[in-house]
């Protein structure tokens, strides 16, 4: 029996694309900080001169799938991380955005074969979002780990036959 697992080491050749929403940047900025800290502590160069990491800013979470699709389809990245925050308001807008961004991100991964980490918080309140972005724990750290694990796992799996 062969067991395939991702690892958090040997990340020298791993290239990561990161898509982050500006909307709710109080939250997304904290997620980004946690994610970069996680990646850096595990050997990814996150400096401005990095050849391992590229960051694309989008206006809001709704725009994440389109840019994630472009990055994943480019062949340049082994994994894409998405970061956003959708906070429930008084209108159905929340439900529409959450449904579309989650379906869109999943479709990108399926269509391209590139793992796309879903780091879009969906919360009822700003307080809940802040708790998940650093007050209690920073999920950005976890999203960084997920990217490393999936990048490593995909490299270890057998390649599809043409």
Q: pLDDT for 43-54, tens place per residue?
A: 999 999 999 999
CATH of the domain at 58: 3.40.50.960
Secondary structure of 39-101 as H, E, C letters:
HHHCCCCCCCCCCCEEEEEECCHHHHHHHHHHHHHCCCCCEEEEEEEEECCCCCHHHHHHHHH
State the Cα–Cα distance between residues 85 and 80, nearest whole angstrom. Answer: 17
Q: pLDDT for 83-141, tens place per residue?
A: 999 999 878 888 899 999 999 999 999 999 999 999 999 999 999 999 999 877 899 99
Domains in the chain, number: 1
In-domain check, residue 85: yes
In-domain check, residue 3: no
pLDDT of residue 91: 80
Q: Is the pLDDT of residue 31 over 80?
A: yes
Number of other CB atoms surrounding residue 73 within 10 Å: 14
Number of other CB atoms surrounding residue 138 within 10 Å: 21
Query: 106 lies in which domain range?
Result: 16-137
In-domain check, residue 154: no
In-domain check, residue 32: yes
3-state DSSP call for residue 142? helix
Q: Is the pLDDT of residue 60 over 90?
A: yes
Based on the residue annotation, tell me whether 42 is a catalytic residue of this protein. Answer: no
Average pLDDT of the chain is: 93
Q: Mean pLDDT, to the nearest integer, of 66-93?
A: 94
In-domain check, residue 83: yes
In-domain check, residue 157: no
State the Cα–Cα distance between residues 51 and 93, nearest whole angstrom. Answer: 37
Is-contact 52 89, C-beta < 8 A? no
Place of tokens 């990217």: 147
In-domain check, residue 113: yes
pLDDT of residue 34: 96
The residue annotated as part of the active site, out of 76, 93, 110, 136, is 93
State the Cα–Cα distance between residues 69 and 142, nearest whole angstrom. Answer: 22
Q: Which residues contact 130 (CB under 8 A, 6 or more apart)?
A: 26, 27, 30
Is-contact 109 72, C-beta < 8 A? yes
């Amino acid at each position: 029996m062969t067991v395939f697992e991702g690892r958090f080491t040997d990340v020298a050749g791993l290239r990561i694309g990161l898509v982050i929403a500006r909307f709710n940047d109080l939250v997304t900025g904290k997620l980004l900080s946690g994610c970069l800290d996680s990646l850096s502590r595990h050997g990814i160069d996150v400096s401005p001169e990095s050849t391992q990491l590229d960051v694309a800013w989008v206006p809001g979470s709704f725009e994440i799938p389109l840019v994630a699709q472009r990055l994943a389809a480019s062949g340049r990245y082994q994994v894409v991380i998405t970061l956003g925050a959708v906070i429930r308001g008084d209108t159905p807008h929340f439900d529409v955005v959450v449904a579309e961004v989650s379906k869109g991100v999943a479709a990108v991964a399926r269509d391209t074969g590139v793992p796309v980490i879903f780091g879009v918080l969906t919360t009822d309140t700003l307080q809940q979002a802040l708790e998940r972005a650093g007050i209690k724990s920073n999920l950005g750290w976890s999203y960084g780990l997920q990217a490393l694990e999936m990048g490593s796992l995909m490299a270890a799996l057998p390649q599809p036959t043409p």
